[in-house]
Amino acid sequence: MIIADNLSGQPEPDTIPPTPLCKFGLSHTYQNSSDTLHINSFNDGSFDPEHENTNLRFSFSSNPEDTLRIFSCLNGEIGLVPVQMWVTDEAGNQAFCETFLNLVLPSNPDSLGLGNCVTGTPLSGRISTTSSNPIEGAIVNISGDLNFTVVTGNSGQYNFPTSLKNFTIVPSKIDSTLNGISTLDMLVIIKHILGVELLDSPYKIIAADVDGSGTINLTDVLAIRSRLLGATNSFPAGDYIFVPTNYEFENVGNPLQEDYPSIIKSIALEETGYMLDFIGIRLGDINDSTTFDKSEEKLRLYDR
Ligand SMILES: [Ca+2]
Ligand SMILES: [Ca+2]
Ligand SMILES: [Ca+2]
């Protein structure tokens, strides 16, 4: 609609800025290491009040020509990037709205040649048993700026293809077999309960509390027995408990009473020296006799 001026018959000059409407966030999965996006992708029905037929121009900045922007995962543009969408009407009036772009790596960055999309050092760590043997087939989930799931290979190593500022690493492993669990483990626990021979490491104590009760008693022995007899294929506390390798227990003789960590968060890394290794404690295997099949095919999963 054009408003006519009563005296001159000329249209009134347009002094009213457009009403910018941004999409609430846009997600883009990299197809190449650098992708070009047009600002129009962010428009969600912006309009010009009282000048419906005006041609609106959209731009990333106050310069109306600034319509294209190159995003590159090589520059570390991964995750949330703030975006301003400027709207200019024919008379040059401007307004903008703010939104964001979520830049994600595809689920198979290596195959698309995006393996170089790293900013700094990729995250990697090792998961091993209490006696430093590698734990193969542990599932390692990372969440934060990106979400990935990878599986440790036969060296116990895991790698995330990029470094992240904010993340949480959570390992897990399910093993419903009796691998490493035997009557010998029951015997070791019984000796501990009787005070004949106390378990000599915090990891062994955690391994012995298979019902997760926070204490070691006959219930744990019976749970192992029940599993050995085939009555169950799991423990109430799970199959594995993971503890960051460089975590120092406050009381090595009684770790069950403290709130020890089982994940690694980026915010805590400055204290821990950027160590991303874990010790995996096989519940019920107190004498650390679990073996890992080295021939098992390595898995590498992303984005699960
Ligand atoms: Ca206007
Ligand atoms: Ca217990
Ligand atoms: Ca054992």
Cα 69 to chain centroid distance, Å, stands at: 27
Distance CA 130, CA 105 (A): 35
- Report how far ligand 2's centroid is from the alpha carbon of 169 (Å): 27
Indicate which ligand has the atom closest to the C-alpha of 220: 2
Indicate which ligand has the atom closest to the C-alpha of 205: 2
Nearest to 63 by CA among 89, 86, 96, 95: 86
Tokens of 98: 């703010």
Work out whether the CA dihedral 294, 295, 296, 302 comes out positive or negative. Answer: positive
Consecutive H or E run containing 205: helix 202-208
pLDDT of residue 122: 65
- Please say whether the beta carbons of 39 and 60 come within 8 A: yes
**Strand 79-88 relative to strand 94-104, pairing:** antiparallel
- Please say whether the beta carbons of 239 and 87 come within 8 A: no
Q: In this structure, how many other beta carbons lie within 10 angstroms of the beta carbon of residue 293?
A: 10
86-96: string of b/e by CB count within 10 Å (b at 16+)?
bbbbeeebbbb
pLDDT of residue 10: 67
- What is the reported pTM? 0.60
Does 26-104 match 123-282 in CATH topology? no
Indicate which ligand has the atom closest to the C-alpha of 222: 2
Residues comprising the chain, all counted = 304
Angle at 168 between CA 145 and CA 35, to 5 degrees: 20
Task: Mark the residues whose beta carbon lies below 5 A from ion ligand 3.
Answer: 180, 185, 285, 287, 289
- Report how far ligand 2's centroid is from the alpha carbon of 265 (Å): 28
Integer CA distances (angstroms), 161 to 85, 91, 200, in order: 32, 49, 38
Indicate which ligand has the atom closest to the C-alpha of 188: 3
Indicate which ligand has the atom closest to the C-alpha of 91: 1
**Strand 94-104 relative to strand 26-29, pairing:** parallel
Nearest to 42 by CA among 116, 108, 111, 96: 96
Q: Residue ranges per domain, the chain?
A: 26-104, 123-282
pLDDT (tens place) for every residue of the chain, 304 residues total: 555 555 556 667 889 999 999 998 888 988 888 899 999 999 999 999 988 777 999 999 999 999 999 998 877 677 778 899 999 999 999 999 999 888 877 777 666 666 666 545 567 899 999 999 999 989 998 887 667 778 888 899 987 766 666 788 999 999 999 999 999 999 999 999 999 999 999 999 999 999 999 999 999 999 999 999 999 999 999 999 999 998 999 999 999 999 999 998 886 665 555 678 999 999 999 999 998 764 433 333 333 3
Indicate the CATH number for domain 26-104: 2.60.40
Distance CA 182, CA 150 (A): 30
- Report how far ligand 3's centroid is from the alpha carbon of 292 (Å): 13
pLDDT of residue 27: 86
Q: Enumerate residues 6+ apart whose C-beta is below 8 A from 266.
A: 144, 164, 165, 166, 167, 168
Which amino acid is present at 207? A
Indicate which ligand has the atom closest to the C-alpha of 237: 2
Indicate the CATH number for domain 123-282: 1.10.1330.10
